[in-house]
A and B are shown apart, each in its own frame.
Chain A
Amino acid sequence: MRVALFITCLADQFYAEAGVATVRLLRALGVEVDFPQEQTCCGQPAFNAGHWNEARSLALRTLGVFQEAEYVVLPSGSCASMVKNHYLELLPGNKEALELAERTYELSQFLVRVLGVSELGKGLSGKKIAYHHGCHALRELGVREEPLLLLKNSGAEVLPWEAAEECCGFGGLFSVKLPEVSLAMADRKLATLPQAEVLTSTDAGCLLHLSGRMGKQGKGMRVVPLATLLWEAYAG
């Protein structure tokens, strides 16, 4: 089985180690990994802000880049949803978009649903983890149980979190168009954060926003993408 990794621009720049972890994990599970060099951004920021022309040309680029891929895997729920759900709105009737949508998965979704993996290893034994459900992973992709299953089966304790399924306030351009509201949302989320050792999520944007806010408040906690933890679960 061959998988093309779509690292996403945000993870490429800010959470590069999530990409490394994804590659190592997939290889360890016997999957060949390609990294199409021409890839850039899926177009989500432009799309969500209403700039559909710009988004459409980036979507068409991405379709071309991943045309040959058997599967496309992203360590990001919102970019995966962009490809899976919104390319079809941007490019109605486009056959390639439909096909790509069917072959595209967020990482944990791919592991559980396609590879049928539910346990990676016991590398996270005893670790107390807070899991933030990225909104697009949760509500657009329906990824709710997969990350929790993989984390729990690796020996981690996923702590109950009242606001686990609430939006963190990132929302792409929302975070800079309405910075005060965005920060108030992060503060509400963080005020209910349990005493965990690690905070994780599928999405780089949410993590950048939450970890930045925590830092500003003088709170320290390890904040890493889910892919990084899943590799640790496997490798110990």
Chain B
Amino acid sequence: MRVKAKLYPKEAARLLREKPGVRDAVTGATLHFEAGRKKAYQEVDAEAWRERAKRVKDHLLTHLDQYLELAEKRLQEKGVQVHWAEDPEEAHRILREIVARRGVRRAVKAKSMLTEELGVNPLLEALGVEVYETDLGEYLIQLLGEPPSHIVGPAIHLALSDIQRLFHSRFGTPLDASPEALAAVARRVLREAFLTAELGISGANFLVAETGTLVLMENEGNIRLATSLPKVHVAFVGIEKLLPRLHDLALFLPLTARAATGQRLSTYVSLIQGPAKEGEEGPEEVHVVLVDHGRTALLHDPEAWEVLRCLRCGACLNACPVYRQTGGHPYGYVYSGPIGAVLDPGLLGLEDTHPLPYASTLCGACYEACPVKIPIPKLLLTWRRRAVEQGLAQGWERAAIQAFSKVMQSPSLYRLFSKGLRGLPLPQDWLPLLRAWTEGRGPLKPSPKPFHQLWQELKE
């Protein structure tokens, strides 16, 4: 996927200006999810669950090499073919080989952020393979040619009218078709795809090392079809998505569902134990592609590795008042919102992503929501500090902070500044900064006298 994170501030402003409907759609949906999460957290000892989940993930990440080896062994024992991909190119090579060997013409694909990261759809299209996204939201944005706007709800930014227009132009449905009628059209198209696809592609919510079990959570049943009807199933799994033991699922399944959508459990949970045996129905081949793509390097970053605990539940997006204004597109990469702001620099480097750590007011709502207690505000501060150290801060900002700091270092300069604020014109350098403030909020009106002057009167 092409990374456009550098454009974040411009794209966020442009979206607010040009597509105000996105803000309404995203705000409505995220507030709904957020209310669901809060309610679902209240039903349990959320603090204890989150702490426990954090510890399990930390244990996993600090022993990742051992658990990866164990997972590979267990998967192979079940007849799963295990592949390792360090980068998208290697993942492409593995997929290309499978497509060629099995003569794949049509593929169905479950929603998966990792496959977005790897650019699986463009690859398949280039190979002449028809690919159908089978999650309804993902199917909508596939038809529109857009990337996902949210980790869990990829089409969260669309209003019903957008979808009515889309289906009208694609399938000739009336412009006022009901959601049920639209879903029926999608169902017809996707059923046909399920029944004829030679290849099913998925990600994984978890991969249990102890048993070599692939775990997939969903609500629509489409993943079950994608992993059971086609003769070949390929699952792309980020190496950080492992869990040590099967019984960890007792915590992680309900916690993830609560965090993501406020559900106690997702409607469907698939525990996949390899290809079909003699006399069973199911795929003949199951492949697991363990993908690194920057994760090992991030794991060795002592200040930033904690982000790898992420379960991709999207709770931080729903809780984030910044994300709510624009949805995910302006962030310019697969992972948006608060988690994107700390994961994207970790995976891609700060050079290409450095505005993202500034896409937050540090309000802390993301940390409260996170099921594995990723200290997102702390990580944002770390990436910001590094941006400054690497000279990525804009010139005006550096100048403003240095001037500000100089004034604040000296009480007498500060007194002068205080007088200036109440009479003198402000220095030219500060003007862009001042303009950015006053345009939306009117001029700054200082108190008639600063407090340090009033203090003299209070003393007497």
Query: Contact residues of A with B, CB < 8 Å?
Result: 7, 9, 11-20, 23-24, 35, 37-41, 43, 45-52, 54, 57-58, 61, 89, 135-136, 138-140, 166-167, 169-186, 188, 208-209, 212-213, 215-216
Contacts and interface: CB of A to CB of B under 8 A. Distances in A.
B322 A181 contact: yes
B365 A40 contact: no
Contact of B364 (A19, A135, A215): A135
A167 B449 contact: no
Given A48-B384, A179-B437, 19 more contacts: A7-B452, A9-B408, A13-B446, A14-B446, A16-B453, A40-B414, A46-B404, A50-B385, A50-B393, A51-B393, A58-B408, A135-B364, A136-B362, A180-B16, A182-B361, A184-B23, A188-B325, A212-B444, A213-B441
Interface in B286-321: 321
Interface string B430-453: 000100110111101111111111
A54 B401 contact: yes
Contact of A181 (B13, B414, B458): B13
A38 B410 CA distance: 8
B442 A212 contact: yes
8 contacts: A9-B408, A40-B407, A48-B362, A50-B383, A51-B393, A179-B436, A182-B440, A184-B16
Contacts of A212: 437, 440-442, 444
Contacts of A24: 458
B284 interface: no
Contacts of B359: 178, 181
B326 interface: yes
Nearest to B441: A212
What does DSSP make chain A's interface, helix, strand, loop or mixed?
helix
B386 A135 contact: no
Contacts of A50: 357, 381, 383-388, 393
Nearest to B390: A50
Contact of A11 (B449, B451, B453): B451
B9 interface: yes
Interface of B: 9, 12-13, 16-17, 23, 27, 321-322, 324-326, 357-365, 367-368, 378, 381, 383-388, 393, 397-398, 401-402, 404-405, 407-411, 414, 418, 421, 433, 436-437, 439-442, 444-455, 458
A-B pairs with lowest CB-CB distance, top 9: A171-B361, A212-B441, A50-B384, A19-B451, A167-B363, A16-B447, A139-B364, A135-B363, A54-B405
Contacts, number: 194
A188 B433 contact: no
A37 B325 CA distance: 42
Contact of A13 (B322, B326, B364, B418): B418
Contact of B455 (A19, A169, A208): A19
B315 to A, nearest CB: 15
Nearest to A166: B321
Contacts of B360: 171, 174
Nearest to A175: B437
B365 A57 contact: no
A185 B30 CA distance: 14
A181 B326 contact: yes
B368 A139 contact: yes
A35 B12 contact: no
Nearest to B9: A178
A18 B450 CA distance: 11
Contacts of B358: 49, 173-174, 177-178
Contacts of A16: 447-451, 453-454
A58 B405 contact: yes
Contacts of A166: 321, 365
Contact of A49 (B384, B437, B441): B384
A14 B447 contact: yes
Given A41-B408, A49-B401, A180 B13 contact: yes
A208 B448 CA distance: 15
A16 B387 CA distance: 35
Given A13-B421, A48-B362, A178-B358, A188 B381 contact: no
Contacts of A20: 451, 454, 458
Given A40-B414, A180-B12, A170 B361 contact: yes
Nearest to B359: A178
Contacts of B410: 40
Given A54-B402, A174-B360, A40 B409 contact: yes
Contacts of A215: 441-442
Contacts of A136: 362, 364
A49 B405 CA distance: 12
Contacts of B418: 12-13
B123 to A, nearest CB: 34
A58 B401 CA distance: 12
